[in-house]
Amino acid sequence: MQVSVQLRAQKLTLGTEQIGGEFNYQLIRGESELVESVTNNADGSIVFSAISFDEAESYDFQIVEEPVGGNWENNAPTSYNVTVVVEDNGGALEARINYPEGFPIFTNTYTTATKGLIMFEAIEYTQAGIYHYVIREITPSGGGWTTDGRSYEVIVTIEDDGYGNLIPSISYPNGFPEFINTYSVTPVCVVITANKAAIGADLPEGRFEFGLFDEYGYLTETTTNRAADRTLPNPPQ
């Protein structure tokens, strides 16, 4: 006489769309007995193989996410306790799954130096279903910025696991939302000037040449002086 259960968890990613096999999870019985290691599926589901029980008692497990590196932030919690309660119901074993900290949902945030995360407030769901959303930028262009006019569909699927838990998953039918804005400026001109004077003779037009050098010593522009019909007095002897 046996009864089987299949333990599950869910993976959600912030900042990018997840791919299958990207994260690793361990199912541990008791304190340290490794039962199985699996990876996430592309839809975020984490599914362990079915486990059979032949005695009526409580069995304690842990689902643990292995640390990830790179641009991923390991958000807490990284482990969940699970209790499988097996009872003898008139000669037939029945099992129920308890999640003391709630259904295991592991969340990681993907960050880069060139992209700023856009995050809306959490939405609470109270029943299973499929929910459709659209994300678009509503800031008008202006002030030097040309804003992105694209829009992205988002589908949130809420599944009832049959044990009183709602399991979320998110999909992006036309790609993960990424808005790119362009900043440009209106050119402005500055005229740099100096003065030229002469002693002992009138200053002729274009007689002397001057160079404008940048901070690295490179010549960027040349020009000559304008004429002046008066001379400076001779300096005293």
Asked if residue 195 and residue 171 are part of one domain, the reply reads: no
| Spatial distance between the Cα atoms of 82 and 165, rounded to a whole number of angstroms | 13
Q: Could you tell me which of 51, 46, 55, 58 has the C-alpha nearest to residue 18?
A: 46
Q: What is the pLDDT of residue 91?
A: 84
Asked if residue 83 and residue 28 are part of one domain, the reply reads: yes
Asked if residue 133 and residue 26 are part of one domain, the reply reads: yes
State which residues of the chain have pLDDT below 50. none
Residue ranges making up the domain that contains 172: 3-112+127-177
177, 197, 215 - which closes a domain: 177
Give, as one character, the DSSP assignment of residue 53.
Answer: E
CATH number at residue 155: 2.60.40.3050
Q: Is residue 197 part of a domain?
A: yes
Q: What is the pLDDT of residue 236?
A: 60
Q: Is residue 232 part of a domain?
A: yes
Asked if residue 145 and residue 34 are part of one domain, the reply reads: yes
Q: Is residue 236 part of a domain?
A: yes
Asked if residue 131 and residue 48 are part of one domain, the reply reads: yes
Q: How many structural domains compose the chain? A: 2
Q: Is residue 122 part of a domain?
A: no
Q: Is residue 30 part of a domain?
A: yes
Asked if residue 80 and residue 163 are part of one domain, the reply reads: yes
Taking the model in full, what pTM does it have?
0.80
Asked if residue 133 and residue 53 are part of one domain, the reply reads: yes
Q: What is the pLDDT of residue 237?
A: 59
Asked if residue 96 and residue 194 are part of one domain, the reply reads: no
Q: Is residue 76 part of a domain?
A: yes
Asked if residue 199 and residue 145 are part of one domain, the reply reads: no
- Per-residue pLDDT tens over the stretch 117-147: 999 999 999 999 999 999 999 999 999 999 9
Asked if residue 97 and residue 14 are part of one domain, the reply reads: yes
Q: What is the pLDDT of residue 90?
A: 86
Average confidence score pLDDT of the chain: 94
Q: What is the pLDDT of residue 231?
A: 72
| Spatial distance between the Cα atoms of 82 and 98, rounded to a whole number of angstroms | 6
Contact indicator for 62, 70 with CB cutoff of 8 Å: no
Q: For 166, what's the count of Cα atoms within 13 Å in the CB-facing half-sphere?
A: 11
Asked if residue 85 and residue 141 are part of one domain, the reply reads: yes
Q: Could you tell me which of 104, 103, 97, 6 has the C-alpha nearest to residue 59?
A: 97
Asked if residue 104 and residue 36 are part of one domain, the reply reads: yes
Q: Is residue 162 part of a domain?
A: yes
